[in-house]
């Protein structure tokens, strides 16, 4: 191993550690929700807007609810929903992309137009519309976000599948009589997942932001439920007296999104390193 490659691997290591450490914070906060006596909904109007104390480590909000309890329970909603949204969206995009790229023909046309149409449609508007029609809720919001974000994954999956469909080993499979489903699963899926992984990680971060902004706007998650964006918007009127109401959830959103973005960069790096290592094989190593 040359000095340069060693440097790369050390960077990759520290990057992964940084990303994971950042993600540990919201996860640790989330664990507090399991602690007894921390109820996100129990109000105590005697202790409104109190600063952090031993009893309430992060202070209380305008209705005297424990902020730590609310943030902890909010982790499930914000992070959980974001993960589900990103993974579902990637799965949908990958499936359609693989079909479009491998089978081509009419399927490619239909899926391609669908991608174009979705990309041209404003996501926020769709979320607002759906919320207006159904009365909102996390599920509706998630559906809206999945519908607007899959094309990104679809395009990547399609271009990878298209290139691979001409690869000798895929053609050999066709000649041997492999079914289309088997080729998609065995040969294309693993190759499509590799470039999608950094996108998914980035997608989680984006979904958290989208959920929070929509929560802040008042659609999506309905107020008593503890969601980070909703908490920020609820705390905004009290910014002067109790800045911690806005500060703590904002910090968590920031750290979580940053964590996912750093992880995404690491996935991307791992992928290019891998490609580099497998494509550029100098002669003196090939012989060994």
Is residue 283 close enough to count as binding other proteins by CB under 8 A? yes
The residues facing 175 across adjacent strands are none
Task: Please state the closest distance from residue 287 (CB atom) to other proteins, in A.
Answer: 2
Is residue 186 close enough to count as binding other proteins by CB under 8 A? yes
Tell me the per-residue interface mask from 126 to 165 with other proteins, x by CB under 8 A, - otherwise.
----------------------------------------
Q: What distance in Å separates the CA atoms of residue 100 and residue 94, rounded to the nearest whole number?
A: 10
Within 8 A by CB and 6+ apart from 261, the residues are: 201, 202, 205
Q: What distance in Å separates the CA atoms of residue 42 and residue 31, rounded to the nearest whole number?
A: 19
Question: Cβ closer to other proteins: 173 or 265?
Answer: 173
* Token pair listed for 191: 């190759």
Question: Cβ closer to other proteins: 110 or 167?
Answer: 167
Is residue 240 close enough to count as binding other proteins by CB under 8 A? no
Judged by CB under 8 A, the residue of 105, 181, 240, 281 near other proteins is: 281
* Token pair listed for 9: 């691997």
Is residue 181 close enough to count as binding other proteins by CB under 8 A? no
* Token pair listed for 3: 């000095």
Judged by CB under 8 A, the residue of 187, 216, 228, 260 near other proteins is: 187
Phi, psi (deg, nearest 5) at residue 222 = -90, 145
Q: How many helices (H) and strands (E) does the chain have?
A: 12, 0
Binding stretches for other proteins (CB under 8 A): 2, 4, 167-169, 171-179, 182, 186-187, 190-191, 278, 281-284, 286-288
């Amino acid at each position: 191993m040359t000095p340069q490659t060693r440097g790369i691997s050390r960077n990759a290591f520290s990057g992964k550690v940084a990303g994971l450490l950042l993600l540990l914070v919201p996860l640790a906060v989330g664990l507090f929700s399991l602690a007894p006596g921390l109820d996100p909904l129990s109000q105590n109007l005697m202790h409104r807007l109190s600063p952090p104390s031993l009893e309430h480590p992060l202070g209380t909000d305008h209705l005297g609810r424990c902020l730590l309890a609310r943030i902890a329970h909010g982790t499930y909603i914000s992070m959980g929903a974001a993960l589900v949204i990103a993974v579902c969206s990637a799965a949908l995009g990958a499936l359609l992309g693989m079909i479009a790229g491998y089978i081509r023909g009419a399927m490619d046309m239909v899926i391609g137009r669908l991608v174009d149409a979705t990309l041209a449609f404003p996501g926020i508007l769709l979320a607002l519309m759906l919320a207006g029609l159904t009365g909102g809720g996390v599920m509706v919001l998630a559906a809206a976000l999945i519908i607007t974000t899959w094309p990104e994954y679809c395009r990547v999956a399609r271009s990878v599948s298209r290139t691979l469909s001409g690869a000798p080993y895929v053609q050999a499979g066709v000649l041997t009589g492999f079914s289309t489903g088997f080729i998609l699963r065995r040969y294309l899926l693993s190759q499509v997942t590799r470039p999608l992984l950094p996108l998914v990680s980035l997608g989680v971060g984006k979904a958290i932001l989208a959920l929070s902004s929509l929560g802040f706007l008042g659609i999506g998650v309905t107020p008593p439920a503890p969601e980070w964006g909703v908490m920020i918007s609820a705390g905004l009127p009290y910014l002067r007296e109790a800045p911690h109401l806005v500060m703590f959830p904002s910090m968590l959103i920031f750290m979580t999104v940053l964590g996912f973005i750093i992880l995404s960069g690491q996935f991307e790096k791992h992928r290019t390193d891998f490609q580099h290592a497998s494509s550029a094989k100098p002669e003196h190593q090939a012989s060994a």
